Chains A and B, each alone.
Chain A
Amino acid sequence: MSERKATVASRVGLHARPAAIFAEAAGELPLEVTIAMEGEPAEDAMDASSILSLMGLGASHGDVVVLRADGDGAEEALEGLAQILETDHDA
């Protein structure tokens, strides 16, 4: 299981637009990626390709989230997704 932490850069948090960009990217991967708030148990993690789950996470600007995935290329995939979160799409 690979893990990657990322800090939400979007000023208004993981709301509709950044969530849409992120969920779309996660959905295009051949892996199942989960997302959870830092410190929350891995079994409560949610499907990263679900825009509704992402919005329900309630991650605000500056919050740290944990991305997890298993399998070939997981490291690179998570790195790519983390970079999306660390970009301010409202800027």
Chain B
Amino acid sequence: MRLEVSGIFKTYDGKVPALTDVSFSLEENGIFSLIGENGAGKTTLVRILSTQLLPTSGTATIDDVDVVSRPKEIRERIAAVPQEARAVPWMTPIQTITSYLMYRGYNHAEAMEMASDTIRKLGMEEFEHQKNRKLSGGQKRKVLVATVLASEADIIFLDEPSTGLDYISRKDLWNLFSSIKDRKSIILTTHYLEEAEALASRIGILNKGHLVGFGTMEDLRNLSKYPYSIRVSSPDFELEGDSWKVVHLAEGGTQIFTYEDQVYSLVSILISRGLRFTVQEISLNTIFENIIYGGTRNDKTSQ
């Protein structure tokens, strides 16, 4: 799958800007994750790409087919679960999946067989005949994800599929996405940055309708001044220098951001002072905070 997004603008009611000049391209299958605060434009972008919403201007193509002017061709290949989608309460999981597959044009027998197969693969047998309204939040979400995963669509749009789920349910979904990412392209929005970091081969960061970061984790780390982080347990650690930034964390402890070539000397200093510490590449959380808030939110910085 090759996705090209070029200069997408979206303004609601002619005045509220939701997306401003968003451009990027993807050239391979896998998981692409869009992250951003509430109202950053994630859902708007996903709705445009999944042909549910027209952009104000700009173009987007999937394998050279324009999503704006040729939606019918795009719809043959895509499937989407919207952010606020709910499994119809009076239906059961098997009925939900079967009817969705029939909307995609499978006959009833084929749809039933595919639905049963998907339910078996996803370990949903124990509740396949219960009414959706009786299922837990995680199970309901799984039913919706199962509908699109059961289909032949090779491009799947999932708008915040794991929001509100407990950790175990989220991990179940992650395993599910990982198991199909070689065969299908998944475009996923999420508020859980660790989810994007764990699953996505490419990540886009939206802020107030602008795409402010895009690429692999490596690319995003390179956007940050300091790609390495040393977490020190001591809350009052201080160290003067120009090659690092010391941040005293609100939740306790100290974080030192630095360059790769400074890590060794800093570690030596910490060992010599008998302090406990961990070294790692900066996480998506840190990158996100650096890009969106300039890395200063809730923390006191000394340098």
Tell whether A and B belong to one assembly.
no
